[in-house]
Chains A and B, each alone.
Chain A
């Protein structure tokens, strides 16, 4: 836990930022994005580093959550007490259904199947003309909390995202340390050994997948509210790839790597995009180099020093 000074420092920085002057619309949106993607990345790190499930379809869970907000909004339902559980529930259900099939496979199969299901969600969202189709959907306003426009208060939303991020990290850490987590971690390294003590890995993995999906749904809910706009791009496999990048950038071995990875990614993406419209020409090779040379990710670098 001593090694976790870096992510703890980041969380503290997020907590302090609005109070020391970073409270404008631009900064808070950027920070919200970093925190929300950080949540999703921590959940993915839980799957990848904890359970050994490399999912290339995680963005789909965010998308399902975001679209739940959009679809309910289109029908006039904006109360958080309904929208939030709907977003989380829909995403968890999606993860459960696709996971039930995907987790029967492993390795390369699993990666490809999660990618395929992510694409399925993407195409489905693109074809929903009533909710914007390819062009996306603009919310009438942010989700209301008990009838109030609480979430439209920048500070309130900022600290809500921070709370969600912290809660996600704490919960995933707790899960990994529990009996449930022990079976997951063992199965990641040696599924045969787990079976040989009398436990079948499948139900544990499926539950982990559904939990990660639920967190994705929560992140999607927050994302929809942050930008007040939802489009199929949220579900694209490029987004899933970016989430995996955050995990590996942070270091797949540690949950909090997702927090660091998301922050660096958002900063990098924002800065690069300001330099050139063709920033992916730079970002692509950076990704390749990071994979080739940054083994253990940033978390590995931090841990070695700390």
Chain B
């Protein structure tokens, strides 16, 4: 696999670039959401929740799409999507990415509702919606660390 990485065909580079770029923006945006939610609990809840919601809507979801489109493109180039039994690291990638989209959509809805309530003055920084968003985002982040491990170590 080390050799494979060093002699990768040139036409795999663009899909791999888009996949990694999407993944980096995805994880970066998710950590920003966590930081904004923690900040909302400690101080300015309206600003923190607004930042968390916008990060999810304009950062996390588009990044997920870029990461996933890049993943499918590179898998197609490598012929991994035609295999009856794909390698474990490919399975781990799909198993961590697809279910987490649902978590991320749910987190976006929760953060949007929490931000709206905070703006209208009725939201509490420690409310259930904030906690739900934090839990959903944290689970997704942990799944992505597992995916990064699988992509880099390529367990068979």
A binds B: no
